[in-house]
Amino acid sequence: MNEDSISINKFVSSKGLCSRREADKWIDAGRVTINGQRAKKGNRVVSGDEVVVDGEVLQNNPEPVYLALHKPIGITCTTDKKDKDNIIDFLAYPQRVFPVGRLDKASSGLILITNDGDIVNKILRVEHNHEKEYIVKVNKAITEKFLKKMANGVPILDTLTNKCQIEQLSNDTFNIVLTQGLNRQIRRMCEYFDYEVLALKRIRIMHILLGKMKVGQLRELNKSELRQLKNITGQ
């Protein structure tokens, strides 16, 4: 193996287009070529190779961008332009960026946006156990039994959710802090106990707060937020 080579998914990610996981999906979909040939997962790139994504030759690394968005309900956290509600068209940002993780279409709140594929991979690693905090409104009165069972782990998606922090805020609303990112996790947890989620808003990711950001508002991470983020991810 050429010591100066790099895996194709890492190469695409390093150009600020997406995470490595997303790059693998693009490769499978035939959106990536190397020197005119359709790329395959496991291919490696060396100096002088021409890598093209969706007909565009990849250029030098762009200036890194780190943003926070208050995602509205109805926007999908995907870079797939075939989805008319995709987050990229909603942002209309002048550089190519992508969301860090997901927040389902029916939910609102904080999501991070970047073009730094390396930091995305580090944030998404399960072992980091990054906290994410939500406010959730359900369709009926919350009971002590419900809170206790939610906190101790719920069997969904062939696994048991991690223990979590949960606090009742009103008759039908609670605050919950998760360290997992299972698909529609909070909604599935509530459904298990015959509760329906009426509203779900993410208000914190790690040390980054939604605060008073308006729905649809986009802002740059401040120096303190970015410094802490890089410390957490070892960058």
The secondary structure of 16-79 as a DSSP string is: TS--HHHHHHHHHTT-EEETTEE--TT-EE-TT--EEETTEE--SPPPP-EEEEEEPTT-B---
Domain for residue 14, yes or no? yes
Domain for residue 1, yes or no? no
Helices (H), the chain: 8-14, 20-28, 87-91, 117-124, 144-152, 185-192, 223-233
Strands 108-114 and 197-205: parallel
Question: Which residues make Cβ contacts (< 8 Å) with residue 125, sequence separation at least 6?
Answer: none
Residues 91, 73, single domain; the answer is yes
- CATH assignment of the domain containing 155: 3.30.70.1560
Residues 82, 187, single domain; the answer is no
Give the C-alpha separation, 67 to 128, whole Å. Answer: 21
Residues 48, 73, single domain; the answer is no
Domain count, the chain: 3
- CATH assignment of the domain containing 11: 3.10.290.10
Phi and psi torsions of 229, nearest 5°: -60, -45
Give the C-alpha separation, 93 to 111, whole Å. Answer: 15
Specify the pLDDT at position 230: 87
Residues 84, 116, single domain; the answer is yes
Residues 93, 43, single domain; the answer is no
Written as tens digits, the pLDDT of the chain (235 aa) is 555 788 999 888 888 778 888 899 999 999 999 999 999 999 999 877 889 999 888 876 678 899 999 999 999 999 888 999 999 999 999 888 889 988 999 999 999 999 887 888 778 775 567 899 999 999 999 999 999 999 999 999 999 999 999 999 999 999 999 998 899 999 999 999 999 999 999 999 999 999 999 999 999 999 999 999 988 877 6
Domain for residue 200, yes or no? yes
Crossing angle of helices 117-124/223-233, nearest 10°?
Answer: 60
Residues 81, 43, single domain; the answer is no
Residues 53, 72, single domain; the answer is no
Residues 138, 199, single domain; the answer is yes
Domain for residue 141, yes or no? yes
Residue 184 sits in which domain range? 131-205
Give the C-alpha separation, 27 to 44, whole Å. Answer: 12
Domain for residue 24, yes or no? yes
Give the C-alpha separation, 158 to 173, whole Å. Answer: 27
Residues 140, 76, single domain; the answer is no
CA distances from 120 to 38, 181, 227 (A): 25, 14, 15
Residues 119, 140, single domain; the answer is no
Q: By three-state DSSP, how is residue 189 classified?
A: helix
- CATH assignment of the domain containing 115: 3.30.70.580
Specify the pLDDT at position 208: 96
Residues 167, 199, single domain; the answer is yes
Residue 193 contacts residue 144 (beta carbons within 8 Å) = no
Domain for residue 102, yes or no? yes
Q: Which residues are catalytic?
A: 104
Residues 137, 83, single domain; the answer is no
Strands 173-178 and 165-168: antiparallel
Domain for residue 210, yes or no? no
Q: How many helices (H) and strands (E) does the chain have?
A: 7, 17
Domain for residue 147, yes or no? yes
